[in-house]
Amino acid sequence: MSKSKGFRAERELVARLWKLGFAVMRAPASGSKIKKAKYPDVVAIKSGKVLVLEVKCRSKVESIYIKEDQINKLREFANRSGGYAFIAIRIPKGVWKLVSIDSIEKVSNNTYRLSRELIINSKELSEVLKELKLITTLEEFIAKHDSGSIS
Amino acid sequence: MSKSKGFRAERELVARLWKLGFAVMRAPASGSKIKKAKYPDVVAIKSGKVLVLEVKCRSKVESIYIKEDQINKLREFANRSGGYAFIAIRIPKGVWKLVSIDSIEKVSNNTYRLSRELIINSKELSEVLKELKLITTLEEFIAKHDSGSIS
């Protein structure tokens, strides 16, 4: 993805999670080598529950390939924090799909693949938050209202 | 404090917490306006427990003044995450003192002060981590060994 598109998507996700009551941190030096090596794109915390997120943005739904290093980094961060690690993918119409790193298949020695089918069948952000008891009905409503009003 | 000194102190704290098993995030764009307005310097998470930290570095122990905005930002981040907010101060001999934001006195409309006495009487990092059950004896030993080997 282009740097600026990825950056905008990341910022949109941060704003949305902040509105839902999360404390949200973005990685330092977005796009730099240091960040890629050490930090997830976004970490969101609410009442001790932690979401560890790698952000992708796609203008059409297709397979995404991710280096094993990246997955390992997310897994370690989730293990240390006691949190849940996801690839957060912004697909058309402002929909955010969350794919748990545990459901991703390894396709070669150092590469993982999120297939088109896996992405389509993955839960949306609001569903994941509901399952993890991270949003209430009111907050869910606000989230839907917000995403509906983006033009 | 000078920017580079502050930066080094921050990095030292991040490395130390990482060694102790924390997932650690640093604020983006250290020193920039965005960061100051929105993010704490360091967020460290272990098994769902969250430390929200503003980092200071002093070559001699003296009063520190902090803007109310900064304190409010730390408080909000701690409330959202369910964490604990501290000012983490590196004083001579590599000692880190942690002052809870709840113990800081407001001295004017928009300023808080950490007096010299408050800093001296505050707990050290390892004591705070022990109290919050965030380190075990072995990890504590490793931490002490590490800080002892800094030359």
pLDDT in tens, B39-72: 999 999 999 999 999 999 999 999 999 999 999 9
What per-residue confidence (pLDDT) applies to A145? 58
Hey, what are A108's tokens? 């070669």
> Which tops the pLDDT comparison, B121 or B3?
B121
Q: Is A81 on the interface with B (CB under 8 A)?
A: yes
Q: Rounded to an integer, what is the distance from CA B46 to the centroid of its chain? A: 15
In the structure, what pLDDT confidence band is assigned to residue B89 with cuts at 50, 70 and 90? very high
């995450």: which residue's tokens? B81
pLDDT in tens, B92-134: 999 999 999 999 999 999 999 999 999 999 999 999 999 999 9
Mean pLDDT across A120-149: 78
Q: What ipTM was estimated for this complex? A: 0.87
Hey, what are B79's tokens? 């409330």
Cα B56 to Cα A82: distance, rounded to the nearest angstrom: 28
- B45 contacts in A (CB within 8 Å)? 43, 45, 50, 80-83
> Which tops the pLDDT comparison, B42 or B3?
B42
Could you tell me the pTM of the whole model?
0.88
Contact residues, B window 7-66, toward A, CB-based 8 Å cutoff: 21-23, 25-30, 39, 43, 45-50, 52
Domains in chain A, CATH or no CATH each = 3-145 (3.40.1350.10)
Mean pLDDT across A18-39: 76
Cα B109 to Cα A13: distance, rounded to the nearest angstrom: 35
Q: For A49, left (φ over 0), alpha (ψ -120 to 50), or beta? A: beta
In the structure, what pLDDT confidence band is assigned to residue B139 with cuts at 50, 70 and 90? low
What per-residue confidence (pLDDT) applies to A148? 45
What per-residue confidence (pLDDT) applies to B149? 41
- Ranges A120-129, A141-150, B102-111: which has the least confidence: A141-150
What is the SS3 assignment for B70-114?
A: HHHHHHHHHHHHCCEEEEEEEEHHHEEEEEEHHHCEEEECCEEEE
Residue B63 falls in the annotated catalytic set: no
pLDDT in tens, A43-71: 999 999 999 999 999 999 999 999 999 99
Spot the catalytic one: B30, B100, B115, B147.
B30
In the structure, what pLDDT confidence band is assigned to residue A150 with cuts at 50, 70 and 90? very low
Hey, what are B51's tokens? 């430390």
Is the CB of residue A82 less than 8 Å from the CB of residue A43? Answer: no
Optimal mutation site among A25, A36, A49, A132, interface B, most CBs of chain B within 10 A: A25
CB contact under 8 A, B23 and A80: yes
- B47 contacts in A (CB within 8 Å)? 81-82
What is the SS3 assignment for chain A?
A: CCHHHHHHHHHHHHHHHHHCCCEEEECCCCCCHHHHHHCCCEEEEECCEEEEEEEEECCCCCCEEEEHHHHHHHHHHHHHHCCEEEEEEEEHHHEEEEEEHHHCEEEECCEEEECHHHHHHCEEHHHHHHHCCCCCHHHHHHHHHHHHHCC
What per-residue confidence (pLDDT) applies to B147? 54
Predicted confidence (pLDDT) at residue B146 exceeds the cutoff of 90: no
Cα B149 to Cα B140: distance, rounded to the nearest angstrom: 14
Cα B5 to Cα B26: distance, rounded to the nearest angstrom: 16
In the structure, what pLDDT confidence band is assigned to residue A107 with cuts at 50, 70 and 90? very high
Rg (CA), chain B: 15
Predicted confidence (pLDDT) at residue B32 exceeds the cutoff of 50: yes
In the structure, what pLDDT confidence band is assigned to residue B77 with cuts at 50, 70 and 90? very high
In the structure, what pLDDT confidence band is assigned to residue B27 with cuts at 50, 70 and 90? confident
